[in-house]
């Protein structure tokens, strides 16, 4: 073995540190606020239909977020998480994928989910934990997932999807599929051990996975400068021997272009790539959180100006692809559609009692069946105490 | 005495502990300036500075390992794991390190003074990742002590005892009661004993045993049973490890019957350990099989939470089965 340490051996004869800031990663920006491109920047190849689908998805998510946060405040759903300020990050990246690519998200990526084709009704059914929810009403609101559109069901524990993405992508490679896995996570989740494990596994085993870090500045109340000291998250990828690229997360053209490039590279070379999208979590962490306890209104106002939708809209208008009046009318219609879907979903029944024990295993084990039988007998005795299931035990 | 909810009582205990001993340091995710997502560490950073109350990066295994190191040095870290559901990345540090530090070194080193505080339990529409009661996993680990308070007075006294304890402690806080449970709490420093159960109500027909947030559930069941003329003896176990078998056995020898209630799933739950010990200690005194009222053997659900939980009606039925056996 000529190089047992698997590291560069460049000899020096004077003790000298490598500086902790030796690696500085630039941020790709293509689109300016007024819809024009930066000098030297080239817009990615994007046809009108795709561009408008991206825009419509961003608007859809913004309106859905507004409406459902209000619904949470009204007590109609128990919990909600907005992605305000990060619409370009998730939509731009999802648009650069093939529908066969697996998406493993953290929880704030409804933009990617919508782009994939998750329907308004499916959103509502999950949010209301009703019997039409694909997850059978088992998880808190926003824990979406759908096998049909290759979007892995969300798990609340942070970072757990990162090594899973490495494994999933490795399996895609072994199967010879022309598809990879994109894994979203936040800059906070990148502190979890699973992040380091996942990156290293993917690099060592050459798994075609795109690690997509949404660096939005906050992990609940903890600002990024209390989360890590190095230059963001992207520099860590280099430490694990993989390529990295950093983009402006409010610039959908930059996100799209970088993701497209990363996808092409990862599939061609069977290597992971890390992308870091710099954005700002403009909303609260969740409906249970109140940012006034840890950041100022002034700070928020500053970032509110950096609106990814307005920026993309300006570009679309310049292209002559968007009619403002028609767009406004469409958004009004969308508001009405969302409210209608909400009213329908909240009246749909909750899952039946059999779903208390289904899916723990492929088939309920005898002990569980017995527990269900005993529970049913108990509910028959006290029907008033269990109104969701008492009327439909058989 | 002052009226406090459980969060205020915990905050007050941490404040007193930090004032008393500058080796006490509080940290965890969002614990610093914000004071924790439930605000249990509110104002502590303001009062004691960033070096003694701080945000950590988002890594439970890091938090636990860091706490082990601090405690090994002789300080008293009080580390918060934001939800007990998220303690599992720290499982290795807690089970293989915290619990075995003293034993493996022949007492050359120890992590006494280390406390993991973590909110546990359901009843908040939290689904399976914000509702779990993982005490039994840790109860299977010699070297740890495990404490669960039922109200603000207990929370303060038991937390102060945990920080003073020469062994590492996992302190499970019933988050459902954080603001809901309000009571009179002495403002001064006091400790309550770890490893001692408390008999809350004397009775002669059946012993009803629980801990934490389930105490108010069983209390409701016991009242229903009283209307049927059944006299229940009610015990709060308070410590899962070590647990007070003597107090429970003395009660069961008197009543001849035992009903155990816990939130966690039935299989492998701590009620099984209690039942096995008590049937041995009280075999000739038992009038009926020991009853367990627990969560179902499924992950904690969301829409069907009411059906799933070990509620007062299921507990009442178990009490009646026990006395009518």
DSSP string, B16-85: HHHHH-TTEEEEETT-STT--TT-TTTTHHHHH-TTTEEE--S-HHHHHHHHHHHHHHT-EEEEEPS-GG
List CB contacts (< 8 A) between A385 and chain B. 306, 311, 313
Distance of alpha carbon A220 from alpha carbon A362, whole angstroms = 36
| Closest partner CB to B30 (pick from A220, A351, A367) | A220
pLDDT interval class at A361 (50, 70, 90): very high
Q: What is the dihedral angle through the alpha carbons of A234, A236, A241, A245, rounded to the nearest 10 degrees?
A: 0
Distance of alpha carbon B89 from alpha carbon A20, whole angstroms = 28
Please say whether the beta carbons of B302 and A126 come within 8 A.
Answer: no
Is it the case that residue A260 has pLDDT exceeding 90? yes
State the pLDDT at residue A1. Answer: 57
Distance of alpha carbon B103 from alpha carbon B91, whole angstroms = 18
- Which structural domains are found in chain B, ordered by start? 2-185 (3.40.50.970), 198-323 (3.40.50.920)
State the pLDDT at residue A394. Answer: 85
**B90, two tokens:** 């720290």
In chain A, what percentage of residues exceed pLDDT 70?
Answer: 99
Q: Read off the pLDDT of each residue in B123-141 and give the average, rounded to a whole number.
A: 96
Instruction: Identify whether B35 is preceded by a cis peptide bond (ω within 30 of 0).
Output: no
**A309, two tokens:** 């939708």
Q: Do A156 and B129 touch (CB under 8 A)?
A: yes
Smallest CA–CA separation between A27 and chain B, in Å? 24
pLDDT tens digit string along B47-86? Answer: 999 999 999 999 999 999 999 999 999 999 999 999 999 9
State the pLDDT at residue A154. Answer: 97
pLDDT interval class at A10 (50, 70, 90): confident
**Domain ranges, ordered by start, for chain A:** 27-33+44-345, 353-392
| Closest partner CB to B55 (pick from A129, A226, A388) | A226
pLDDT tens digit string along A155-211? Answer: 999 999 999 999 999 999 999 999 999 999 999 999 999 999 999 999 999 999 999
User: Would you call B195 an interface residue with chain A, using a CB distance cutoff of 8 Å?
Assistant: no
Nearby residues of B272 by Cβ (< 8 Å), 6 or more positions away: B292
State the pLDDT at residue A329. Answer: 97
Told to judge if A184 belongs to the known catalytic residues of this protein, a careful annotator would answer no
pLDDT interval class at B197 (50, 70, 90): very high
pLDDT tens digit string along B229-248? Answer: 999 999 999 999 999 999 99
Nearby residues of A22 by Cβ (< 8 Å), 6 or more positions away: none
Q: Do A388 and B30 touch (CB under 8 A)?
A: no
Q: Which residues of B are catalytic?
A: 60, 130
Distance from the Cα of residue A191 to its chain's centroid: 17
Query: A 148-207 residues with CB below 8 A of B?
Result: 155-158, 188-189, 191-194
Strands (E), chain A: 27-28, 102-104, 181-186, 209-215, 218-219, 222-223, 243-248, 273-278
Smallest CA–CA separation between B198 and chain A, in Å? 30
pLDDT tens digit string along A13-63? Answer: 999 999 999 999 999 999 999 999 999 999 999 999 999 999 999 999 999
pLDDT tens digit string along A271-327? Answer: 999 999 999 999 999 999 999 999 999 999 999 999 999 999 999 999 999 999 999
Distances (CA, A) of B221 to B175, B232, B264, B296: 21, 10, 18, 19
Mutate to test the interface with B, among A155, A191, A392 (most CBs of B within 10 A): A191
Q: Read off the pLDDT of each residue in B19-39 and give the average, rounded to a whole number.
A: 97
State the pLDDT at residue A4. Answer: 86
Average pLDDT, chain A: 97
Q: Do A227 and B57 touch (CB under 8 A)?
A: yes
Nearby residues of B121 by Cβ (< 8 Å), 6 or more positions away: B84, B131, B132, B133, B172, B174, B175, B176, B212, B213, B263
In chain A, what percentage of residues exceed pLDDT 90?
Answer: 97
Q: Name the CATH superfamily, with its identifier, for domain A27-33+44-345.
A: Thiamin diphosphate (ThDP)-binding fold, Pyr/PP domains (3.40.50.970)
Distances (CA, A) of B194 to B169, B198, B215, B233: 10, 11, 18, 21
The secondary element (H helix, E strand) that includes residue B209 is strand B206-210
* Beta strands at A27-28 and A243-248: parallel, antiparallel or unpaired: parallel
State the pLDDT at residue B54. Answer: 98
Q: Identify the sign of the CA torsion A125, A127, A128, A130.
A: positive
Is it the case that residue B104 has pLDDT exceeding 90? yes
pLDDT tens digit string along A217-246? Answer: 999 999 999 999 999 999 999 999 999 999
């Amino acid at each position: 073995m000529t190089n047992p340490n698997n590291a560069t051996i460049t000899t020096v004869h004077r003790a000298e540190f490598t500086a902790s800031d030796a690696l500085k990663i630039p941020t790709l920006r293509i689109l300016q606020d007024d819809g024009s491109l930066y000098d030297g920047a080239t817009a990615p190849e994007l046809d009108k239909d795709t561009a408008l689908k991206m825009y419509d998805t961003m608007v859809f998510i913004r309106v859905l977020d507004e409406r459902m946060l209000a619904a949470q405040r009204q007590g109609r759903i128990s919990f909600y998480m907005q992605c305000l300020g990060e619409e370009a990050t998730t939509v731009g990246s999802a648009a650069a994928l093939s529908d066969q690519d697996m998406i493993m998200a953290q929880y704030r990526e409804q933009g990617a989910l919508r782009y994939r084709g998750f329907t308004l009704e499916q959103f509502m059914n999950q949010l209301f934990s009703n019997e039409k929810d694909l997850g059978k009403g088992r998880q808190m609101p926003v824990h979406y997932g759908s096998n049909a559109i290759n979007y892995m069901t969300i798990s609340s524990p942070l970072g757990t999807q990162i090594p899973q993405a490495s494994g999933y992508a490795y399996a895609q490679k072994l199967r010879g599929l022309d598809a990879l896995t994109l894994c979203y996570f936040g800059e906070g989740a990148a502190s979890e051990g699973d992040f380091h494990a996942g990156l290293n596994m993917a690099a060592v085993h050459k798994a075609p996975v795109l690690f997509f870090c949404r660096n939005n500045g906050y992990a609940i109340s903890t600002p990024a400068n209390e989360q890590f000291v190095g230059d963001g998250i992207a520099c860590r990828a280099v430490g694990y021997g993989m390529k990295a690229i950093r983009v402006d997360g409010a610039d959908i053209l930059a996100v799209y272009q970088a993701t497209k490039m990363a996808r092409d590279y990862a599939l061609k070379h069977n290597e992971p790539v890390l992308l870091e999208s710099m954005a700002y979590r403009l909303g609260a962490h969740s409906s249970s959180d109140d940012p006034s306890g840890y950041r100022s209104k002034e700070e928020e106002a500053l970032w509110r100006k950096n609106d990814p939708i307005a920026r993309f809209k300006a570009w679309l208008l310049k292209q002559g692809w968007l009619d403002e009046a028609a767009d406004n009318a469409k958004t009004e219609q969308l508001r009405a559609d969302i409210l209608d879907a909400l009213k329908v979903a909240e009246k749909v029944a909750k899952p039946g009692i059999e779903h208390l024990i289904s899916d723990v295993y492929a088939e309920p084990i005898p002990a569980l069946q017995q527990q269900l039988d005993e529970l049913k007998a108990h509910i028959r005795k006290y029907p008033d105490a269990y109104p969701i299931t008492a009327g439909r035990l058989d | 005495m002052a009226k406090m909810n459980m969060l205020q009582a915990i905050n007050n205990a941490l404040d007193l502990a930090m004032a008393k001993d500058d080796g006490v340091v509080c940290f965890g995710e969002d614990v610093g300036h914000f004071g924790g997502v439930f605000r249990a560490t509110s104002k502590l950073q303001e009062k004691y500075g960033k070096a003694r109350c701080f945000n950590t990066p988002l890594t439970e295994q890091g938090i636990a390992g860091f706490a082990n190191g601090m405690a090994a040095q002789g300080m008293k870290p009080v580390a918060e794991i934001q939800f007990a559901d998220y303690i599992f990345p720290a499982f290795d540090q807690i089970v293989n390190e915290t619990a075995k530090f003293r034993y493996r070194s022949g007492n050359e080193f120890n992590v006494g003074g280390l406390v993991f505080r973590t909110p546990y339990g359901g009843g908040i529409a939290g689904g399976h990742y914000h509702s779990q009661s993982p005490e039994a996993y840790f109860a299977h680990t010699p070297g740890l002590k495990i404490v669960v308070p039922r109200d603000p007075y207990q929370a303060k006294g038991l937390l102060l005892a945990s920080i003073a304890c020469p062994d590492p402690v996992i302190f499970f806080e019933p988050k459902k009661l954080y603001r809901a449970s309000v009571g009179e709490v002495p403002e001064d420093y006091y400790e309550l004993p770890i490893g001692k159960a408390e008999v809350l109500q004397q009775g002669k027909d059946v012993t009803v045993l629980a801990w934490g947030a389930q105490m108010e559930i069983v209390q409701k069941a016991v009242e229903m049973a009283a209307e049927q003329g059944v006299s229940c003896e009610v015990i709060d176990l308070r410590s899962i490890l070590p647990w007070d078998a003597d107090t429970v056995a003395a009660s069961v020898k008197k009543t001849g019957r035992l009903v155990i209630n816990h939130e966690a799933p039935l299989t492998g739950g701590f009620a099984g350990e209690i039942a096995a010990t008590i049937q041995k200690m009280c075999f000739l005194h038992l009038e009926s099989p020991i009853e367990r009222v627990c969560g179902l053997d499924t992950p904690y659900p969301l829409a069907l939470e009411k059906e799933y939980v070990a509620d007062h009606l299921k507990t009442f039925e178990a009490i009646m089965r026990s006395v009518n056996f």
